[in-house]
Amino acid sequence: MSENFNRAIRSFVLRQGRLTKGQKYALEHLWPRYGIETNNEPLDFNTLFINSAPITLEIGFGNGESLAQMAKAAPEQHFIGIEVHRPGVGRLLHLIEEYQLDNLRVIHDDAVEIMKHCIPKQSLDCLQLFFPDPWHKKRHNKRRIIQDEFVQHVHSLLKESGTFHLATDWKPYARHMSKVMEANAHFQNCAPSPFSERPEHRPLTKFEKRGLKLGHGVWDLLYKKI
């Protein structure tokens, strides 16, 4: 692994925000059941879920609504979400209880650190990264999570033919994502052009719906490990 990847990449700006009563309740009472405590040791997925099934990991699930919908629509699969913001974690825990989801677990931590220390190699069927911070200003572009070293690490965590699914609503970042992914010989684009149509299994978020109404574009990229 390169020195750059080890240098604490951040895909977020830490804004914890205020917790609602529901989020506080979820963090206090639902975390012990659905939360994953990490200790820099590889996770044993067989102990986290009641059976063996394909596993999707999502980095930065926001308020969790999209991830909860995906887990609800695919009970035959397992999902793990990582989010650094406590309000989002609390919201997703609430949704897990509301939808009675036994196939979804939550990690409250920095995704890059979890990926480096806690996700076993070649263990994921899919890794999702939707709407990461685009770091708009040119001098901040180097902070973008999608860099060569990060993508190579994603490759090491995916099973053979596993999928890396990205999405952004910032066109310059979409071009950057495409450039980085196309330069990696260990991934193959699932679409004939740089960008894919949004697959049906990825629900539209409220933020995304609002943007589309305003005429903003959204770009999905799906790549398969080869």
The domain spanning residue 142 has which CATH number?
Answer: 3.40.50.150
pLDDT value for 17: 64
| Contact of 30 with 94, CB cutoff 8 Å | yes
pLDDT value for 7: 42
Is 87 within the bounds of a domain? Answer: yes
| Contact of 170 with 221, CB cutoff 8 Å | no
Distances (CA, A) of 48 to 59, 80, 132, 194: 18, 10, 27, 36
Is 28 within the bounds of a domain? Answer: yes
pLDDT value for 131: 93
d(CA 75, CA 64): 16
pTM of the model: 0.90
Is 120 within the bounds of a domain? Answer: yes
Q: How many domains does one find in the chain?
A: 1
d(CA 149, CA 32): 34
Is 140 within the bounds of a domain? Answer: yes
Is 14 within the bounds of a domain? Answer: no
pLDDT value for 13: 46
d(CA 154, CA 123): 11
Catalytic residue numbers?
133
Is 9 within the bounds of a domain? Answer: no
d(CA 86, CA 179): 33
Residues (pLDDT < 70) of the chain are: 1-17
Is 57 within the bounds of a domain? Answer: yes
| Residue 38: domain span | 21-225
Is 15 within the bounds of a domain? Answer: no
Taking alpha carbons only, the member of 60, 87, 9 closest to residue 165 is 60
pLDDT value for 194: 93
Distances (CA, A) of 129 to 20, 104, 195: 26, 17, 15
